[in-house]
Chains A and B, each alone.
Chain A
Amino acid sequence: MQQLMERIIQAALDQGADFADLRISNGAATAIAVEDGRADKISSSRSRGAGLRVLVDGAWGFAPTNRPEEAELLHCVEDATAMAQAASSHVTDPGMVAEVEPAHGEVGKPPRIRPDQVPLKDRVARVFELERAARSYQPNKIANTVASYADGCGEMFLANSLGTLLHYESTGTSIGLSVVATDGNTRQRSADRKANRTGYELIEATDIETLGKQTAKKAVDLLSAQRAPAGTFDVIIDHRICGLLVHEAFGHNSEADAVWSGNSILAGKLGEQVAAEEVTITDDPTLPDLNGSFDYDHEGVPAQRHVIVKNGILKGYLHSLETAARFGVPPNGSARADGHQSVPIVRMSNTAIEPGKWTLAEMMAEMDEGLYLSGGGWGYVFTAQGQFTCNVEHAYRIKNGKLGTHYRNVCISGRTLETLQKVTAVADDLEFELGGTCGKNGQGMAVDAGGPHVRISQVVVGGQETQ
């Protein structure tokens, strides 16, 4: 494999490339769905292929193939270089690549339990357990339950014209549940998911019964929750909302490709106060076994912990080889690609607001009036204007430091920098609870996000009822 990859890289250089990299990958995945008491959908997929990328006179060319054989790869070299050459005379903001030490060797540790070595019937049985646990919680109110499991194992070889040659092995496992409850008048859904970059040990370590019953309970509880109030509120957000906020509202703005293209509110703000002093934000792929963890990024740069914001001051961005060269800083290992058919782009890994000194009880006790926001599975941001939206599954009125009326299924919105400046307290109870897939430029990527409870003043809540 090494000789093949070196020959292809050399062919690209011979065709006029100033830089070239080649990723050859091979993977297999299994998915199981148990719905309403039946495991009637089981699937497997195999993927293999290669992605060749070249930089020619400031223009990038990319040609993937599903047939990673030498003749086909040489065809990709011709395609990618010819296409880049066709574009290069029109490039006004030339692409570039930072110099890095070439890396060699094996990347990724083997899982403790390879999922594909666990008999399929045993994997199905665990998903059944999860679905059954949910369905058995107040069965007269459970309308639909879908328990899903997925695993994937793969390897990837990376070579580039800087001399890097790495062999990655990776594993990912996830288990999740969606429950719809109904009382005849309304339907409400709750969902939860565990995912990380380890093997079947994730499933072994998961309390399936509790996961099933808790998710079902949340769905049933939502049936009696009221429609949320509309307006501006002081809020306390839980770990999941904090993860959504730090990933969506802030994290995407710290990706240096967005900053360079004028698509980030953090452009030109290095060293400036961008959040309240209580706020420190990190992105750390070196944390063990989370869904966004890795050892080397997909450009061959070692993973490292990034302190993006320290006590409210913007300290840096997440970089690829290209953005590092543009900004004149060392690459920091943040470029990943969604398979061989995609180019590496700047991605977050495990992003969090770091814990503070408060306890949740202390934060609550100080609040006369507000909302406690919990759960929620999705969000998005328009980075250029920095306006975010985060989904909230449960909201509770806070009155005189105590939780009151339960509200359902609402979103919050705000301008990122204004919102982070309005953080008034950060708790000491950091958790990562958002192992999932982040979408950007049509690519999905495994990430995680979290944080402690955080108190924020004056957040807009898009409820249905006038206060």
Chain B
Amino acid sequence: MSELLDIAQKAVKAAMAAGADFADAYCLEMREVGVGVENSSLRETEVVRDYGIGVRAFHDGGVGRASTQSLQPEDVVECARSAAALAKAADPDPDFVTLPDPAEPPPVDDLFDDTVAGLEVEQVVEWCTQAIEEARAIEPGVRLEGGASLTVGSSAIASSTGIGLQRSGTSLGISFQAVVVDGEDVGVYFEYDAARLLNDFVPTGVAAKATQQARRYLGGRTVKTKRLPLVLGPLAASGLLFSCVSAAAAENIQRNRSFLAGKEGQPIASELLTITEAPLVAGGLSSSAYDGEGVPKVERRLIKDGVLTTYLHNSYTANKAGVANTAHAGRQGYRGAVGVTTSNLQVALGTRTEAELISEIDEGLYIAYGGLQPDGASGDISATVDFGFKIEKGELAYPVATTMVGSDAFEVLGKIDAVSSDYREEPGIIVPSLRIRDIQVASQE
């Protein structure tokens, strides 16, 4: 792995020699073994070995970026020179100040599992064959689609300000869509599990859960167009909250294109909502000691009692605003730009279970998965309830079809009137259910 850091440092040196004022480089190599299932049969296996480098160079603040799918010395140097040449062609940006200085990142345990690194394709095949068997045991005619994978990767970041960091990680994933057919009626649902460590990974039961849930979605019906209370299950809540938190990305705020512009320190949600970002959890799915620019991460409240406590900064936006860097720089592999990303989100729990929250609703909608992501600029929400149930007299009555929800982010967040005490947990991530009062629902009349 020190070889990766060496390559990254050489790229930085080459970019600086080509005239860059500042430069950084991100180098990655990974191996992924995947097995695909289609039509409830094993279908394909693949082993993907990917590696490459992305170089950013700055000239008078303008940024040039280049990437290549090669780690050969001559290709790396060419890539670095391209980045420097593009930076010179870019317009100066007076808001750029500097890249981050080096700082010792905090320790984060259990992001790499030697056992996972040693697994072969036969293990992944076994997870998938077991999944098919368990799904068929519940519903012999189920159509199962999905698969499982394991990934082992290493990366390095180097910068002209002296950052030189490297890390390794492992991850495991399994996900399935189950389709159950009854005449012309079709029920569909998804389930997944993911982890960094083999001990945290529970592939058993994922396909069975998807199949059981798919059966519940047979017999979808429309509802009346009217205003109703909603209960968002953990997956639907996660989608809404992740979208809202992402809208706090400082570049979108500074560019005046986010519905959260001007809202730092302001209430944006019910006081029942508190969200903590916990990047340092051992074995956490999105845990990391430092961000995409090598800045040490810290645990922080993003929303406290409904108040947006901070925007999400990388070095550029923090310097531009003259505030502390919150270490939210994110990279989409070696080919992507440096943007903003969050790590593990943990939502503060309420005192009553999801079932208790539902039991208090005479008529409403339960949304299990998807929908409700607001438009990033306006905050408007117009979403289909693809996986949801009508609530009648305190219970889930029947699945809904051709039913939509119309609202906006502030209305939905502000009308949260309960957070459940039970929750869905992935390593490092905790999301409960949310109850939201009085939202516009539209359906086929």
**Chain A residues close to B by CB (< 8 Å):** 35-36, 38-49, 59-67, 79-80, 82-84, 86-87, 90-93, 95, 120-121, 124, 143-144, 180, 182, 186-189, 227-228, 230-232, 257, 260-263, 265, 341, 343, 382, 384-387, 389, 391, 408-411, 413-415, 458, 460-467
Contact = CB atoms under 8 A, between A and B. Distances in A.
B143 interface: yes
B93 interface: yes
A41 to B, nearest CB: 6
A157 to B, nearest CB: 17
24 contacts: A36-B255, A41-B65, A42-B63, A43-B64, A44-B86, A45-B67, A45-B335, A46-B67, A47-B68, A59-B42, A59-B43, A66-B69, A83-B33, A87-B45, A91-B43, A92-B42, A124-B89, A144-B257, A262-B39, A341-B48, A409-B378, A413-B403, A464-B381, A465-B406
A230 B428 CA distance: 39
B91 interface: yes
Given A42-B90, A79-B47, A464 B406 contact: yes
B220 interface: yes
Nearest to A37: B91
B125 A39 contact: no
Contact of A63 (B35, B46, B93): B46
Nearest to A62: B46
B442 A461 contact: yes
A467 B442 CA distance: 10
Nearest to B256: A143
B39 A260 contact: yes
Residues of A contacting B: mostly: strand
Nearest to A120: B89
B375 A409 contact: yes
Interface in B260-295: 261
B129 A40 contact: no
B332 interface: no
Given A42-B62, A95-B44, 16 more contacts: A43-B67, A45-B68, A63-B46, A87-B35, A87-B45, A143-B257, A144-B257, A189-B375, A230-B440, A263-B177, A408-B378, A410-B380, A460-B402, A460-B443, A462-B384, A466-B227
Interface stretch (B49-57, B107-115, B150-158, B161-169): B49-57
B79 interface: yes
Contacts of A261: 38-39, 143, 145
A61 B46 contact: yes
Given A144-B256, A261-B145, A389-B383, A46 B378 contact: no
B122 interface: yes
Nearest to A93: B41
A95 B47 contact: no
Contacts of A45: 66-68, 335
B13 to A, nearest CB: 20
A188 B38 CA distance: 41
B382 interface: yes
**Of listed A40, A90, A409, residue having the most chain B CB within 10 A:** A40
A434 to B, nearest CB: 19
Which of B38, B51, B375 counts the most A-chain CB atoms under 10 A from its CB?
Answer: B38
B42 A91 contact: yes
A231 B125 contact: no
B160 interface: no
Residue of B35, B44, B120, B122 ringed by the most chain A CB atoms within 10 A: B44
B293 to A, nearest CB: 16
Nearest to B68: A46
A90 B37 CA distance: 11
Interface in B130-184: 143, 145, 177, 179, 181
Contacts of A124: 89
B396 interface: no
A57 to B, nearest CB: 11
A144 B252 CA distance: 9
Contacts of B91: 38-40
Interface in B18-49: 33, 35, 38-49
A260 B403 CA distance: 28
A463 B41 contact: no
Interface in B289-328: none
A465 B125 contact: no
Contacts of A86: 45, 120-122, 125
Interface string B400-411: 011111111000
A48 B386 CA distance: 39
B440 A189 contact: no
A142 to B, nearest CB: 10
A42 B220 contact: no
Contacts of B44: 59-62, 84, 87, 95, 343
B40 A462 contact: no
Given A41-B65, A66-B70, A232-B445, A83 B404 contact: no
3 residue pairs, one from A and one from B, having the closest CB atoms: A462-B404, A262-B143, A93-B41
A458 B445 contact: yes
Contact of B408 (A189, A386, A458, A464): A464
Contacts of A49: 69
Contacts of A63: 46-48
Given A41-B65, A228-B382, A413-B384, A84 B45 contact: yes
A413 B402 contact: yes
Contact of A458 (B93, B335, B444): B444
B366 interface: no
A188 B377 contact: yes
A438 B372 CA distance: 22
A462 B42 contact: no
Given A39-B90, A43-B65, A92-B40, A414 B45 contact: no
A409 B121 CA distance: 47
B82 interface: yes
Contacts of B40: 92-93
B389 interface: no
Nearest to A34: B91
B358 interface: no
B335 A40 contact: no
Nearest to A465: B440
B90 A40 contact: yes
Given A40-B62, A464-B380, A60 B45 contact: yes
